[in-house]
Each structure stands twice: as C-alpha cells, then as structure tokens.
Amino acid sequence: MTTSHDLGERTVLVVIDVQNGFAPGGNLAVPDGDAVVPVINRLAPRFTNVVLTQDWHPPGHASFASSHPGHKPFETIELSYGTQVLWPDHCIQDTNDAQLHPDLRIPGAQLVIRKGFHPGIDSYSAFVEADRRTSTGLAAYLKARGIESVYLCGLATDFCVAWSALDSVAAGFRTTVIEDACRAIDLGGSLAEAWQRMTAQGVARISSADLG
C-alpha cells in the first residue's frame, strides 16, 4: 500500500483486549494470541494517541455458557438483543484472566475503556455494546479530542477488533486494521466473514510494515 499514514494528533491507535484471558493459558485463549504483544509494543510509541480496551465481565455474565443451563461454550442462543455466541467464563472483573497481558508495554496509553460490564449485555465493540444501543462513550471521547482516524489492533480479529472497526466507520472515523497486530478465534468461518464485512464498509487492511 502506498498511502501515507499520519500517526499524529488526529489519529488514535486502539489496542483491543490484549488480556491474559485471550492469550495462551487464558480462559478464552486465541490461537497465538500473545504473538501480537511484541508487534503492538513496537507500534504504540509511534502513535501520539493510544487507547486500550479491556473485556471486563461480572461473574454470571449473559455471554457465559455457564449462565445458561443446558448450553455449552461456542453454541449460540437468542438473547433479548439478538443472537449471542456463548463463551467460557472469561475476563471476570478483577481476576488475573482480565488483566492486560504482562508483557504489553504501553506507558503512554491515555485511556482504558472497559466493556461488557453490564450483566445482561455483551460488548465485542469498543464503541457500542451488543444491544446496538448502549454506548461505551469511546466515540464521544475521541471526537472531543479531535480524532479523525482510528487504527485498530489486538484480539480477536473476528470478534472484538472487527466489531470495533465496523462501529468506528459508522461513527465517522477513517478506520484501519493492522492485520499482523491481530489474531483471530475463527469460529466456523468467522474470520473470512469479518474481513468481508470490514472491507465492504471501507475499513483499510494494512500490515505494520505499511506504516514504514
């Protein structure tokens, strides 16, 4: 890609859910999830603005299979707001599983946005929760700071990164996903589907090498 990338004041890097729970040994381990850490550690200092997200569920959260007797992780069910994939218990507030990965080094990160804390609503997106109404406040925060362009990386490409990217476009930000700084869960073709949807909505797909 020959486009030039301005990583300055009007741009933010949003680092999605780089937490123990999504790394090897975590409760919802993403294959090779910890491989994003060194890539993101190199990228982050190049951006003027960096924001992190943290999946932050209360015990008994509606997205947990354990909250729905007779259901198992990775099945889907219908909740009031639509279809929900059921997950193993993960990223429970204030547990080790919910902590940011210990090797993540982003001292300059300006905001940690926690999501998924409403007991009955999941939130893959950093912007709008799964009921598609409840805002996390992130778009308003970024707009208040004059941000126009959002770069995304982290875990997992096909869930929290993709949903965040789609909502970023919908909120009016120029939106780019840094593919090699992400890893996917890939449930039943979800990764290919996520890229199709992102590309169709105008999300740019780059590699960290494209940033020069």
Q: What is the CA radius of gyration of the chain?
A: 16
97 part of the active site: no
Evaluate whether 166 touches 28 at the Cβ level (below 8 Å).
no
Q: Binding to ligand VGL by residue 17, rule CB under 6 A?
A: yes
**Residue 189 CB, nearest approach to ligand VGL (Å):** 16
Q: Using CB under 6 A, which of the segments 72-80, 151-159, 189-197, 200-208 binds ligand VGL?
A: 151-159
The count of other CB atoms within 10 Å of the CB of residue 75 is 12
Residue 78 sits at the vertex; the CA angle it makes with 72 and 81, to the nearest 5 degrees, is 130
210 part of the active site: no
- Compare residues 186 and 210 and give the one whose CB is closer to ligand VGL: 186
Q: Using CB under 6 A, which of the segments 3-11, 94-102, 152-160, 170-178 binds ligand VGL?
A: 152-160
17 part of the active site: yes
Q: Binding to ligand VGL by residue 34, rule CB under 6 A?
A: no
Cα distances (Å, whole numbers) of residue 7 to 15, 47, 109, 156, 178: 14, 5, 14, 23, 13
Q: Binding to ligand VGL by residue 167, rule CB under 6 A?
A: no
Q: Binding to Zn ion by residue 55, rule CB under 5 A?
A: yes
**Tokens encoding 24:** 């090897």
Binding site for Zn ion (CB under 5 A): 55, 116
Binding site for ligand VGL (CB under 6 A): 17, 22, 55, 87, 124, 155-156, 159-160
Tell me which residues are annotated as active site: 17, 115, 160
